[in-house]
Structure 1
Amino acid sequence: MKIALLSYSTKPRGGVVHTLALAEALAATGADVTVWTLGRGGDGSFFRTVDPRVRQRILPFPDIDGEGVGPRILRSIETLRAAFEPSAYDIVHAQDCISANAVARCVRTVHHLDNFTTPELAACHERAIVRPFAHVCVSAAVAEELRAGWGIRATVIPNGVDAHRFALAAADTAAVRRRQAELGRYVLAVGGIEPRKGTLDLLEAFAVLRESTPDVGLVIAGGETLFDYRDYRSRFDARAAELGIEPRVLGPVPHEELPSIVAAASVFAFPSTKEGFGLAAMEALAAGVPVVTRELPVLREVFGGAARFAADPAGFAAQLRAALDDPDSVREPGRALAAGYTWAKAADEHLALYRRLLG
């Protein structure tokens, strides 16, 4: 079976992490897998080394000074569309809105649903839902949103988790101590400073937490994105200054460094307003780090009793404090939950779907 997985970037965003891990798991079964993507900003390779059994087609996509988000999205679609060779594959599987717009016929993974107000983006989002002939969702909650909003029935195939990688980081006590010496005792969020990640709510929650726990810092990692969140970042910085908070904003971190940053955290904060699965939080559970997440149906479905939940900043602060006071209460259930989600299982379920679609 010749499979093309289409993504939109080489950077470490959730959809790209998913694409590479799925591609490697499919290739391990003997499938012929090629990942197509755009090399933004001169990138000629992915953010991490990829299993050599996976073929890679990284299309040059240079930056254009002053280019708006809408035009950049449209140029992304046209660049991928012009180069892609659909007839070379039995299955074409788009992993995001951009790649689903670049091909005429594909399977589409809908990780989560967005509400865009820019006309070009709203139209892109709609086409990427209605045009594919088959759909995958990584959680039942998102599949229900797809059914309720568009009448589309998706196959639910959860993410895998590289649990072993994060468990190994937690077991490396010397590395964890070095990271804690560098960053102190800290609450960690991964995903950068942007609206969907609920970072402003986290800031408000941390301000409340700090009143009773002044020795804990706030660390934010990640943040690679196609969108322009400078206004949101300015609001974040201004509010942090008002509150007297100085978070450590690490930005995108190297792939090999992320596990130790996660494993050394005292608690992992996950206040996202929209998610499809919550891979970053599941990686934290694999490292034995307690997770506090927003009260969302999808996160209740995925995390169940292995995380703490809160609906607003005050509740989030209370749950962060509870996690700091009692980090062991959900540690083993969290590790067991994360270990149960494997990419090998995800690959098997994808192959079963592909075979059904091929008839």
Structure 2
Amino acid sequence: MPINTRRSARISVIGLRGIPDVLGGIETHCENLYPALIRDNPDLDITIFVRKSHTVTITNEYKGVKIRAVAAPQIFGVDALLHSLWCLLICAFSTRPDIVHIHGIGPAFFTPLARMLGLKTIITHHAQDYLRPKWGWKGRLFLRWGERMAALFANHIICVSAALERDFLKIYPSAARKTHIIRNAPSSIAGRQKPDNDVLKRLNLTPGRYILAAGRLEATKNYLFLMDAFKRAGLDDMKLVIAGTFVDSRPDYEEKLKKQVSENIILPGYQQSEKLTQLYKNAALFVHPSHMEGYGLVIAEALAAGLPVIASNLPVHREFLLPEKCLFDPDTINELVSMLKRPDYSYFLHPVAISAQKNDHWHRAGKEHMRIYRNLLPNSAILTPTTR
């Protein structure tokens, strides 16, 4: 008799350290996006390849998404490269997914290999990583080449912001027809029902009496600039908390940051979801002084938590609908000092920007991804009547 059957569409994801609760924009993106895709499309079969060395909790499944931990050598600048190559070979010669979704322009270096091996390939471009000062000329050249391989050989390219797409298409205008913008949504941490209520006590923080920044502790985030501005502002009754950890950063930069730590300048390390939720909800102000971003996910999170936000005046930060009074030049310290000296940070609250993030969801990003996936899925992965 006729019945409706379909084979689950198989998607393999490469290019991240791990999930859940692993620091990084790509990691947060994947931790939120793929469970949202599974919730809305339960017939999807999604496998995320992660690095054993960077995954806090090794598990075979996370919210319906399969997790496959693969070992990689822990060598700066090489571990991500070799891990991506090995995972791609597993896809080509073992699992044979319908789509390989690669995150980041470093792993995108292997796009032509993926296509030669018969794999339909999507690249998500998260940031122009070759602009980060931690890379030497060889690293920058490799990352630029990875971006070029994505432009030339990927079936589709996703940029996480309009500013990033503009920069990408200035270099590779011929990729315009297969390039899409899908903005991130705020991480779900801002709305968690069970925040860690003890984190403020452990860090000796008083609600409303600290300024918060969050992200990887590396030079492009411009945290030394923020620390200097905080000191110059003379905010003796406030504390500065920069939540994050050192990931692939240079030892000399780590040492410089650590030397700035004091009773009022705190580096508490990476804060997992519930702890970070509490830090967001009780901060007086959120500051993001970065020199370079592909998106700025922490701004989305801070706005979703209802915080006053000030940020560097990057084009990508303007996409959050922040007014000029909330933006500063990341190289002009007096601008930031004067903003930090304001007696009432509610001046930087912007209801339009907050509402835009509170009403945004990964469900929207998932739907936009599915439109691209459907273009590449074989007929056998689509609902069709067959006869038994």
Cα deviations by residue, 1:273-304 (Å, 9 ceiling, x for unpaired): 11122111211111111111001111112333
Tell me the distance in 2 between the aligned counterparts of 1:224 and 1:58: 22
After TM superposition, the structure 1 = structure 2 runs for residues 71-220 of structure 1, keeping only pairs within 5 Å, are 71-85=78-92, 88-102=96-110, 104-105=114-115, 106-115=121-130, 116-131=135-150, 132-151=154-173, 152-153=175-176, 154-162=179-187, 165-167=189-191, 175=197, 178-179=200-201, 182-184=204-206, 185-209=209-233, 211=234, 213-220=235-242
Whole-angstrom distance in 2 between the partners of 1:62 and 1:257: 30
Of the structure 1 ranges 341-350 and 127-136, higher mean CA displacement relative to structure 2 is found in 127-136
C-alpha distance in 2 between matches for 1:143 and 1:260: 34
Quote the Cα distance in structure 1 between the aligned partners of 2:183 and 2:226.
27
Q: CA deviation at 1:245?
A: 7.2
SS of residue paired to 1:37: strand
- Given candidates 35, 50, 56, the residue that maps to 2:62 is 50
Taking CA–CA contacts closer than 8 Å with sequence separation of 6 or more, which of the two structures ends up with the larger relative contact order? 2
Deviation, structure 1 residue 354: 1.9
Determine if contact 1:293/1:309 at 8 Å carries over to the other structure.
yes
Once residues 217 and 199 of structure 2 are traced to their aligned partners in structure 1, the CA distance between those partners, rounded to angstroms, is 26
Gaps of 5+ in 2: 1-8, 116-120, 379-388
Contact 1:9 1:38 in 2 (8 A): yes
Instruction: Tell me: CA distance 1:101–1:143, structure 2 relative to 1, closer, same or farther (3 Å).
Output: same
- Unaligned 5+ residue runs, structure 1? none
Q: CA RMSD in A?
A: 3.0
**Against the structure 1 CA distance between its residues 158 and 306, is the aligned structure 2 distance closer, same or farther, given a 3 Å change threshold?**
farther
Aligned to 2:336: 316
The aligned amino acid for 1:16 is E
User: 1:9 aligns to what?
Assistant: 17
User: Residue type of the partner of 2:249?
Assistant: D
**CA spacing shift, 1:181–1:197, aligned 2, 3 Å:** closer
Give the number of the structure whose alpha-carbon radius of gyration is greater: 2
Q: Which amino acid aligns with 1:166?
A: A
Find the aligned partners of 1:178 and 1:340 in 2 and give their Cα distance.
Answer: 28
Matches of 1:28 and 1:223, distance apart in 2 = 31
CA offsets, 1:147-169, max 9 Å, x none? 11222322001102235x41456
**TM-score normalised by length of structure 2:** 0.79
One-letter amino acid of the structure 2 residue matched with residue 8 of structure 1:
L
Q: Given that residues 197 and 273 in structure 1 are in contact (C-alpha distance below 8 angstroms), is that contact kept between their aligned partners in structure 2? A: yes
Deviations 1:54-80 (A, max 9, x none): 1111112354xxx4x233344333333
CA contact (8 A) 2:12 2:97 kept: yes
Alpha-carbon shift at residue 318 of structure 1 (Å): 2.0
CA–CA distance in structure 2, aligned partners of residues 337 and 189 of structure 1:
21
1:319 CA drift (Å) = 2.2
Residue 180 of structure 1: how far off its partner (Å):
9.5
Q: Cα distance 1:55–1:203, how it changes in 2: closer, same or farther (>3 A)?
A: same
The code of the aligned residue for 1:6 comes to I
Corresponding residue number in structure 1 for 2:372: 353
2:298 equivalent to 1:277: no
One-letter code of the match for 1:320? L
Query: For the structure 1 residues 307 and 354, does the alpha-carbon distance in structure 2 shift closer, same or farther, using more than 3 Å as the test?
Result: farther
Separation (CA, whole Å) in 1 of partners of 2:58 and 2:255: 31
Paired with 2:166 and 2:351, the residues of 1 have a C-alpha distance of 30
For 1:101 and 1:143, the matched residues in 2 are separated by 18
Offset at residue 200 of structure 1 (A): 1.3
- What is the number of residues matched between the two proteins? 343
For residue 236 of structure 2, give the secondary structure of its aligned residue in structure 1: coil
Q: Tell me the CA shift for residue 19 of structure 1.
A: 1.0
Out of 3, 17, 32, which is 2:45 matched to?
Answer: 32
Q: Distance in 2 between matches of 1:4 and 1:336?
A: 34
**Deviation of 1:307 (Å):** 7.6
Query: CA separation in 1, counterparts of 2:200 and 2:222?
Result: 29
What is residue 327 of structure 1 aligned with on the other side? 346
| Preserved CA contact (<8 Å) 1:192 1:251 | no
Identical columns (%): 25
